[in-house]
């Protein structure tokens, strides 16, 4: 009967990964996760300094056609070779990760609800929101610790592209979501999704 596909969207630092990880931990091998960020376009033709200047918060920054194709493959029970993106070099690597089909597939990323064709593949659409100040603070901490960025560069990128693109392309998708939650640690929302998944899994059997 195919898999259950859950889209988890929201602004940078909103708690998407926290919520996604909680679902993954709860259902284990029944869940496969595909991160939309890994589908940032490759820019091997550009030097590092030029890659730093790309607007990564615009829909065109993603290879959405490939993302949709891979999601359709997972829905049909086929494994995919997911690209791997390296934030420290602002580019896709030459490596891939094999993601096998699962009963539940979670697709996570800021733009997951932005594309209409992609939305049609989702069974449950979730938008995670958080206060803008909290989101930028989380982004600074994450990018410095995990992505090899410096604070000055983070601030420049946030003000020039992340913030304006959020209000144009990301926040409007909140109205399209089935469920809007105010934190990745929201226990009530998590319990709701947990029950929904359990019910969907039961109906598939």
Q: What's the pLDDT at 37? A: 95
d(CA 137, CA 142): 9
Give the whole-angstrom CA distance, residue 182 versus residue 163: 19
* Per-10-residue mean pLDDT, the chain, length 205: 88 87 94 97 93 91 97 96 93 96 96 96 92 70 74 75 86 94 84 91 78
What is the C-alpha to C-alpha distance for residues 136 and 14, in angstroms, rounded to an integer? 9
Domains of the chain, residue spans: 4-204
CATH of 4-204, one of 3.30.43.10, 3.30.559.10, 1.10.10.10, 3.40.50.300: 3.40.50.300
Closest-CA residue to 70 (of 40, 104, 95, 107): 107
User: What is residue 7's predicted lDDT score, i.e. its pLDDT?
Assistant: 97
């Amino acid at each position: 009967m195919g898999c259950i596909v859950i889209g988890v969207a929201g602004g940078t630092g909103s708690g998407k990964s926290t919520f996604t990880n909680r679902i993954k931990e709860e259902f284990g091998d029944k869940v496969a996760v595909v991160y939309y960020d890994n589908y940032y376009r490759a820019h091997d033709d550009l030097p590092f300094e030029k890659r730093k200047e790309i607007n990564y918060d615009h829909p065109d920054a993603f290879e959405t056609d490939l993302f949709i194709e891979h999601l359709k493959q997972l829905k049909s029970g086929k494994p995919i070779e997911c690209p791997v993106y390296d934030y420290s070099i602002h580019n896709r690597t030459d490596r891939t990760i094999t993601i096998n089909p699962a009963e539940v597939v979670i697709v996570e990323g800021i733009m997951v609800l932005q594309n209409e064709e992609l939305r049609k593949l989702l069974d449950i659409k979730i938008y995670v929101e958080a206060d803008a100040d909290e989101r930028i603070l989380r982004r600074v901490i994450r990018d410095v610790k995990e992505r090899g960025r410096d604070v000055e560069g983070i601030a420049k990128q946030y003000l020039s592209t992340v913030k304006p693109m959020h209000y144009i392309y990301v926040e409007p998708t909140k109205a399209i979501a089935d469920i809007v939650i105010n934190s990745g640690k929201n226990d009530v929302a998590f319990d709701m999704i947990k029950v929904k998944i359990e019910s969907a899994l039961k109906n598939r059997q």
